[in-house]
A and B are shown apart, each in its own frame.
Chain A
């Protein structure tokens, strides 16, 4: 019965997480169709990459579209999944060769002894704490004026004991508040603005496009718990399993090269990046222009990965200290 319940669970989470395609398991076949039309240097290597239908993964869609992966001889198929917790097992079991997940989830998996290896940067916070792709929203007339006021309040996050709670805690601490009194409540991003408006929670942590939606509904942006803690924080990474690195080092190199090219291209061509969003999310044209994009760069911000590891240790997410070098390439 437990298993049935869990199965129903993921279906429900998906239904609740109406941000994207909502089709867990069904492939969004963005693969480059020209299998035979490559540079002619032999057969293409088919790869499956697990991604989440959020703005953060726009570069890989753009890269596939631009043929960066084909140029490396990789036939990439993108599979939409629900989140890092679903992608990590799929990568470890070899169902996906690569995956996208937030940094703290990868550190959690590393701490539990899952052999993972980061292969490319995913996305980063912007450099501007007042204009980031994520952050905390409150009611317009809320008494919460600065991060420290979150102490003792009910704060909605999409995932308890993960990147958003550790960064909010740090954000509040840096501002002189006591984060231990915050009551975190787990809610899906699409429901956060409604829960804040209704007064069920005092504040909610959201990422784009829900940040833009919350603002358009008259909620106030308190600031970013990501860029506010560290500008350019490494929010997510592309990763694979340690065994895959050992057995297919050459493919990993090619993937990294294509991914890095995609990241830099996405950052340099933001109009094209915005234009690719409707391909895998349900953003309308207006939201597509309004959303704040994260920062994409081929460079992994290793210092912030260490910071996230330290914050996780401080908040008791890891039972033992995590060595970030096992995760980082």
Chain B
């Protein structure tokens, strides 16, 4: 990659954000509305709001809850999804039920989850996140497993691969592009649920902070919270892409090879 192409790529990546920030900056510059403060005010409030303790006391616990809930969802989603995807009988048995639960929006479950798992503490929040994230992973895994090439499976059987390696190397691998698509979708759901779960019996956390700011009419601080949330989402998706890039390297290679053929 020449320096010029690097520069061009950077320009593409940063172009729109820069334009948006500039528009926001100038459109809000002379604003006297207390609910629509100038971006300069918001930016000026940002470090004082977040870098004097809030990162470790609010953002970190939120992110940890998100990651734990998300990890639970991915593991459970892939495990159950493989089970359902591999067996026609299990699929026929569970699919209507899964569709039912999938259709229930997790935010409405928050009070219910709190009732069973406690109003305070992290458990109910982690479970809320996990319950919301599990569906895209699970359903994508089912589809991914069903889509695995029969010939590949037969070949693996012919070569007497053990059941375990067939599952790991053929089925799971074959389904992984679909699983990754589901996991990516789940991540954004997780961020939303991270915020929502904190509205119930939480003192601290990123979502709880934003609501506290809003209720205390600390409007510029509230805006910094929203920006913080956006930044967090951005970083998470970046990390996700890095992981996906590595894990699915074989798939990209295969796809490119197929296209070239």
Contact = CB atoms under 8 A, between A and B. Distances in A.
A160 B212 contact: yes
Most buried by A among B108, B121, B217: B217
B230 A88 contact: no
A191 B110 CA distance: 12
Contact of B110 (A5, A12, A105, A111): A12
B195 A9 contact: yes
A4 interface: yes
Contacts, number: 119
A162 B219 CA distance: 16
Contact of B119 (A92, A112, A185): A185
B107 A108 contact: no
Given A9-B199, A186-B208, A200-B120, A2 B230 contact: yes
Contact of A2 (B121, B199, B229): B229
A109 B213 CA distance: 11
A93 to B, nearest CB: 7
A290 interface: no
A195 B215 contact: no
- Size band of the B side of the interface? 35 or more
B195 A185 contact: no
Interface string B169-212: 00000000000000000001001100110011111000110111
A172 to B, nearest CB: 18
B35 A195 contact: no
A187 B208 CA distance: 12
B34 A114 contact: yes
A198 B111 CA distance: 14
B209 to A, nearest CB: 11
B215 A85 contact: yes
Nearest to B215: A85
B108 to A, nearest CB: 6
A5 B195 contact: yes
A12 B120 CA distance: 17
A161 B226 contact: no
A92 B35 CA distance: 9
A112 B218 contact: yes
Contacts of A109: 217
A89 B199 CA distance: 20
B34 A3 contact: no
A112 B192 contact: no
Given A1-B191, A2-B225, A9-B195, A112 B217 contact: yes
A148 interface: no
A1 B230 contact: yes
B217 A114 contact: yes
A211 to B, nearest CB: 18
A15 B108 contact: yes
Nearest to B234: A1
A161 B212 contact: yes
A301 interface: no
B61 interface: no
Contacts of A6: 195, 210, 214, 226
B219 to A, nearest CB: 7
Nearest to B220: A112
A88 B226 CA distance: 20
24 contacts: A1-B229, A2-B210, A2-B225, A2-B227, A2-B230, A5-B191, A5-B192, A8-B196, A12-B196, A16-B111, A85-B215, A92-B34, A93-B35, A108-B216, A108-B217, A113-B34, A114-B217, A154-B120, A156-B119, A186-B202, A191-B115, A198-B115, A200-B118, A201-B120
The 8 A-B pairs of least Cβ separation, nearest first, read: A2-B226, A2-B229, A5-B195, A112-B217, A200-B119, A195-B119, A85-B215, A109-B217
Interface of A: 1-6, 8-9, 11-13, 15-16, 83, 85, 88-89, 92-93, 105, 108-109, 111-114, 154, 156, 159-162, 183-188, 191, 194-195, 198, 200-201, 317
Given A3-B226, A8-B192, A185-B202, 10 more contacts: A5-B192, A6-B210, A9-B196, A16-B110, A108-B216, A112-B217, A161-B215, A183-B203, A186-B203, A187-B201
